[in-house]
Structure 1
Amino acid sequence: MSQFTVTGQFKTRDGHAEFEKTIDAENENVAREHILSQLGSQHGLKRTEIDLEEVGQ
């Protein structure tokens, strides 16, 4: 597995919050799915409220 760093932003009550998370995943698509799932679960967000800007190793 490789490590991917995902950056982006999501909607909050006060506007937008930026994030940068590092995750172990098989490829970029899996990394995207895991981040969307984590942020949605932790912050009660829908996938449409999360903007992924960059996924890189």
Structure 2
Amino acid sequence: MSQFTVSGRFKSRDGYAPFETTIDAENENVAREHAFSQLGGRHGLKRTEIELDEVSER
């Protein structure tokens, strides 16, 4: 498994808040799905409220 750094922004009360997280995943697509899942679960967001700017392998 590889480590990926996922960055972007999500909708919050005050507009958009930036984020950056590190995720262990098999490939870039799985890392994207995990990022959507984690942020959505943690902040109660839908996928349409999360914008991923960059996914890069570490």
TM-score of the superposed pair, with normalisation by structure 2 = 0.97
Structure 2: distance between partners of 1:41 and 1:24: 17
The residue number in structure 2 matching 1:28 is 28
3-state secondary structure, aligned to 1:45: coil
Structure 1: distance between partners of 2:40 and 2:23: 16
Structure 1: unaligned runs, 5 residues or longer: none
User: RMSD of the TM alignment (CA)?
Assistant: 0.3
Aligned residues: 57
Q: Give 1:1-57 correspondences, 5 Å limit.
A: 1-57=1-57
Percent of aligned positions with the same letter in both sequences?
75
* Runs of 4+ residues deviating >6 angstroms: none
Structure 2: unaligned runs, 5 residues or longer: none
